[in-house]
Structure 1
Amino acid sequence: MLSVLRIENFALVDRLELSFGIGLNVLTGETGAGKSVILDAIDAVLGGKASSKLVRAGNNKAIIEATFTLSTAVAAWLIEQGIDLIDDNSVIVSREITLSIKNIRSRSRINGILVNRQIIAEMREYLVEITAQGETVQIGQSAQVREWLDAYGDKEIGQQRQTIMDAFKRHQTVSELLEKCRDSAQEKLQKLDLLAHQLQELGGANLYTSDELEQLQQEYQRLNHVEKLQQMSYKVYQALYQDESQTPTATDLLSDSEVDLTNMVDYDSQLQAILDMVCDAQATIKEAARQVNKYGESLEANPQRLKEVESRIRQLKQICRKYGPTLNEAIAYYQSIEVEIDLLNKSEQSIEDLELEERECWQKLTQACQKLTQLRISASNKLESELIGELKRLAMEKVKFHVDIVSTTPTIYGADKITFMFSPNYGEPLKPLSNIASGGEMIRFLLALKACIFEVDRVETMIFDEIDVGVSGMVAQAIAEKLYQISQGCQVLCVTHQPLVAAMADRHFQVSKKVIDKKKGTKENNEKMEERTIVKVTALDTLNKRREELAQLAGGKSAQNAITFADSLLTQAAHYRVQQN
């Protein structure tokens, strides 16, 4: 339950700290006193929409902090989310709403850990349920009616809805795949034709080694320059070994140097190493001359081979342009084509297989929907009986209620359109609730519905915001008793104008507006007094304070009449509580 609420610079609230207790907590005050601001703060701290209007004028930051008692379910959820527990008794949720020149920024924390809006929304489901008068509009919305009925059906319906969700998603996936398969059948054939052509072209090119093109280009240069290579080979041979013009060759010069060094070694043996090097160089030069001569003699023009090489180079370059840019990449692509063709032929299911699977998925989905419909019918029969009983206790003796379930096309939520049918008066036919119920009837219906759902989907705190507007007398008394009954199972916070409801409270808070003087700095750094309006909340913890507030709510011809009436309400409420206990 909500134990402490701290608010700072929120709407008309300057600073406020409230301590709530178990049972029925009631907030009263004149119209416009700011009662709903307290509930707005609870909504905001639990992820409600943030706006600049929520930040008190003249400030740039609003802070709300709510402390809840720690239940077993909440503790387990916090551990699952990786959020440390402060202690065994409480969990603290806070939110800062900060204004800047251009935007608004909001930060939420659980036990001091920064969390996103989704996490806060999940936690809210465990802690608080807020019911406002405007929520009666939702009764006419089929989706909301479905959620209410399914909540009443509890875990079994929830599990079946999950089964339907899985079946619906599977059917949707198979249907989309089937449609895609049908649409792409021609594209697939075209792709296979293209790959077959590419496979034939690359296979016919006889690609083996990635360096073939480089080798062919070297061979082309040799074949295309045979004469020049022969001439240059002969020239090098002459320079190294044998020159017909009697010009000394490299070998001749090295031979002369060898003779001189041999003579020098006779005088200085340390020159032997140099002599050895010259001898080795002479042998190397002779071998080089022999090989270059042999190379030149082996060269011969081969026009036919030159044409073959030119043709092969052109072929390989074309392959590289289409499948490369390198020959190595073209070979890799060639090797991948067969794999891709095999995948196209084998990995995708045939249209016939998919059509069969689609029919099977549809059958499973419709069967799951039929089971959910039966569960909903069973839950609706029970809800009809229980809700009529609750409505009769709310002074609607002649009421008739029926949950109308009509089959529709299966969706992720099942295959039912659900409507609450209602007749408040004897002899009147059942019609959609939203079409015929008055405001007071809507309020009582919603309260009775919450009472029914509460029994199967209990939250820590239920909040009711002015749901008793427009009712009086016996109906108001019935609403007060129902709120008290609900509060015996969980904490209830209620904003009310009804003295009958307020008299039933376990804790009573008076909300009022107050004008205060506040210091404000001037341009000259002086201070002056500024009047500001704040919301003030007073806990009415004595009988006299409660009596006065109830008298104020009730009004009357004289103050004494109102006080007497307030006393009667408190006495009546005390007597009712004793009876319930």
Structure 2
Amino acid sequence: MLQELTIKNFAIISSLHLGFTDGMTALTGETGAGKSIIIDAVSLLAGARSSIEYIRQGSEKCLVEGLFDLPRQREFQVLMEELGIEVDEAGLIVQRDLNISGKSISRVNGRIVTLANLRRIGQFLVDIQGQNDHQELMHPESHLRLLDSFGDAPFQAIKRDYQAAYQSYQTLANQVKKFKQNEQSFVQRIDMLTFQQEEIGIADLTLGEEEKLMEEREKLTNYQKIVDSLSYSYQAMTNEETSALDTIGSASQELQTIASLDKDYETISDNVHSAYYLLQDAISEIGRQLDLLELDEERLDLVNERLELIHQLKRKYGESVATILRYYDQISQELLDSDFSGDKLEKLESELRVKEEKLQSLAKHLRQARKEMAKKLESAIQHELKDLYMENARFEVAFKESKYTHDGFDEVEFYITTNPGEPLKPLVKVASGGEISRVMLALKTIFSKTQGLTSIVFDEVDTGVSGRVAQAIADKIYQIGKNSQALCITHLPQVAAKADHQLFIRKEIANGRTLTKVEELTENERTEEIARMLAGTEITDLTVEHAKELLQLAKK
């Protein structure tokens, strides 16, 4: 149930706070006073699309906030858990903020939610039935959805099982279709990857190899420079006439003679002595390196060829040997996972046939459940139509088999006859506007008992009817109010009189601006308003007595 509604800077409403109760509440007032604007505000709380046109002229933003009783359906509790919204017995606060820039923010119990999720929540809170919404009955493609909404929990479980199987079937069917359509391009890719795998694999790259090869090439290309440098150094230290080693050896012997005289002399002597032996080691190593040196031009060619191969692979597959090896592992895994053989397609098609058989079985089960449910709906609607002075009407749900869809393989259309002896014909072809409205009202009466909606809003659904039919519509909306809170915008005095509460909406001009005001009417004020609805501008004593009579009859 909608407990409270707060509106700020919305259309011609500057600021408005309304409290609602259970039962049936009528909203009346002159045309253009803002009755439908209030319903538009409630629609926003149920997830309707917003527009900057809603923002009151001269304002930067508008706000709509509603406090609802907490829905009791298990599905609602699951949804709240999924969205991470905390709830308590105090109720559910839904808020929409709309900025002049077009930005809209939706909050539920203080948590920001997307518009799509707000719609999911809104379906548990309020059902808004506009004066043109009966057109839904004029589109046979909507009849299946209307029928299914009559289903109880066991039926919804059957439908969910079918939909899960349908989704699984469609996923596999798309996979098979894609497999067939793209098989050639996939084969081409496999050929390319196979070539790349072979090219990299034959190269047999190893981490750090490039750096070692570059170092080796540096030595090979600088062979003469290395030989000259080592030879000169060796000659300088071993020359018989100017041998550096002999000179340092003589110096070492001379320093040893004074080493015992002073600690500093001893240190100098030790250092020179060490240098002598280090030079001996260096001369031996230089000699060894000279013996090892050999210009191997063939090896230089091999090193250059290897480095060129690595350079080419880097241009194709990555900036380094490590990157190339990672790419090799990646394509190797892809090739390992790929299976485009005929066996693979045959296996997929076999699996698809199994899923199709299961889908057929579940679809037949769903159809049977629908037909059983349709019989109950037919009986319930005919009972409601009698109360709406269509006692001769016969209503039937016709089934036709179609292709598989998310909702089964059923096509459903409502048939009706309103005259005795006349055959059943499609509702969209034979029913008048008033009859369509009454059929929709019959559906809403039934659904209010089965769907557990907290609020149902009727926006001038009684347009175009009068007399006893108007009274019957009033009775039905009142009956709906016993199961769900019913808010009804009406111009019919019979409907207004039947309400438990009546809100009067009027507009006034203040400081050159139009404002909407709402007030709950007392018993005497209700009499005056219903008299106005009966007579228009000129209210007579007889009109007032008629209004009193309507209210008294409604109480009975």
Task: Report the CA distance shift for 1:274/1:463 in structure 2 as closer, same or farther (over 3 A).
Answer: same
Q: CA separation in 1, counterparts of 2:415 and 2:509?
A: 49
Question: Runs of at least 4 residues of structure 1 off by over 6 A?
Answer: 346-349
Corresponding residue number in structure 1 for 2:110: 112
Q: CA separation in 1, counterparts of 2:263 and 2:195?
A: 77
Deviation at residue 363 of structure 1 after TM alignment: 1.9
Task: State the AA in 2 paired with 1:33.
Answer: A
Q: Is the 8 A contact 1:188 1:344 kept in 2?
A: no
Task: Report the CA distance shift for 1:477/1:304 in structure 2 as closer, same or farther (over 3 A).
Answer: closer
Q: CA separation in 2, counterparts of 1:96 and 1:319?
A: 59
Stretches of structure 2 that go unaligned for 5 or more consecutive residues are none
Residue 551 in structure 1 maps to residue 531 in structure 2: yes
Question: 1:433-452 residue pairs with structure 2 within 5 A?
Answer: 433-452=427-446
Task: Report the CA distance shift for 1:91/1:232 in structure 2 as closer, same or farther (over 3 A).
Answer: closer
1:390 alignment partner, SS class: helix
Question: 1:139-158 residue pairs with structure 2 within 5 A?
Answer: 139-158=137-156
Q: Is the 8 A contact 2:10 2:56 kept in 1?
A: yes
Q: CA separation in 2, counterparts of 1:488 and 1:427?
A: 36
Residue 243 in structure 1 maps to residue 227 in structure 2: no
2:472 alignment partner, SS class: helix
Q: CA separation in 2, counterparts of 1:75 and 1:319?
A: 59
Deviation at residue 346 of structure 1 after TM alignment: 9.1
Q: Is the 8 A contact 2:205 2:321 kept in 1?
A: no
Corresponding residue number in structure 2 for 1:19: 19
Question: 1:63-102 residue pairs with structure 2 within 5 A?
Answer: 63-73=63-73, 78=80, 81-85=83-87, 88-99=89-100
1:178 alignment partner, SS class: helix
**Percent identity of paired positions between Structure 1 and Structure 2:** 34
Deviation at residue 304 of structure 1 after TM alignment: 4.5
Q: Is the 8 A contact 2:493 2:530 kept in 1?
A: yes
Residue 418 in structure 1 maps to residue 432 in structure 2: no
User: 1:358-401, CA deviations, whole angstroms, 9 ceiling, x for partnerless residues?
Assistant: 11222222222222111111111111111011111100122122
1:488 alignment partner, SS class: helix
Corresponding residue number in structure 1 for 2:60: 60
Structure 1 residue corresponding to 2:521, chosen from 534, 537, 540: 540
Corresponding residue number in structure 1 for 2:371: 377
Q: Is the 8 A contact 1:264 1:271 kept in 2?
A: yes
Deviation at residue 283 of structure 1 after TM alignment: 0.8
Q: CA separation in 1, counterparts of 2:359 and 2:543?
A: 63
Question: 1:170-209 residue pairs with structure 2 within 5 A?
Answer: 170-205=168-203, 207=204, 209=206
Task: Report the CA distance shift for 1:123/1:349 in structure 2 as closer, same or farther (over 3 A).
Answer: farther
Stretches of structure 1 that go unaligned for 5 or more consecutive residues are 517-529, 576-581
Task: Report the CA distance shift for 1:270/1:161 in structure 2 as closer, same or farther (over 3 A).
Answer: same
Task: Report the CA distance shift for 1:208/1:371 in structure 2 as closer, same or farther (over 3 A).
Answer: same
Corresponding residue number in structure 1 for 2:207: 210
Q: CA separation in 1, counterparts of 2:298 and 2:80?
A: 84
Pick which of 28-37 and 63-72 moved more: 63-72
Pick which of 268-277 and 384-393 moved more: 268-277
Task: Report the CA distance shift for 1:79/1:213 in structure 2 as closer, same or farther (over 3 A).
Answer: closer
Task: State the AA in 1 paired with 2:473.
Answer: I
User: 1:69-105, CA deviations, whole angstroms, 9 ceiling, x for partnerless residues?
Assistant: 33444677556643344x6343322323232xxx223
Q: CA separation in 2, counterparts of 1:410 and 1:268?
A: 110
Task: Report the CA distance shift for 1:221/1:378 in structure 2 as closer, same or farther (over 3 A).
Answer: same
Q: CA separation in 2, counterparts of 1:339 and 1:533?
A: 72
Residue 432 in structure 1 maps to residue 426 in structure 2: yes
Q: Aligned pairs, how many?
A: 553
Pick which of 302-311 and 449-458 moved more: 302-311
Task: State the AA in 1 paired with 2:131.
Answer: Q
Q: CA separation in 2, counterparts of 1:301 and 1:77?
A: 81
When the two chains are superposed, the root-mean-square deviation of aligned CA atoms in Å is 2.7
Q: CA separation in 2, counterparts of 1:167 and 1:39?
A: 39
Question: 1:9-408 residue pairs with structure 2 within 5 A?
Answer: 9-73=9-73, 78=80, 81-85=83-87, 88-99=89-100, 103-205=101-203, 207=204, 209-240=206-237, 242-243=238-239, 246=241, 248-331=242-325, 333=327, 338-345=332-339, 350-408=344-402
Deviation at residue 320 of structure 1 after TM alignment: 4.5
Deviation at residue 20 of structure 1 after TM alignment: 1.8
Pick which of 89-98 and 188-197 moved more: 188-197
Task: Report the CA distance shift for 1:232/1:77 in structure 2 as closer, same or farther (over 3 A).
Answer: closer
1:361 alignment partner, SS class: helix
Q: CA separation in 1, counterparts of 2:123 and 2:371?
A: 26
Task: Report the CA distance shift for 1:250/1:456 in structure 2 as closer, same or farther (over 3 A).
Answer: same
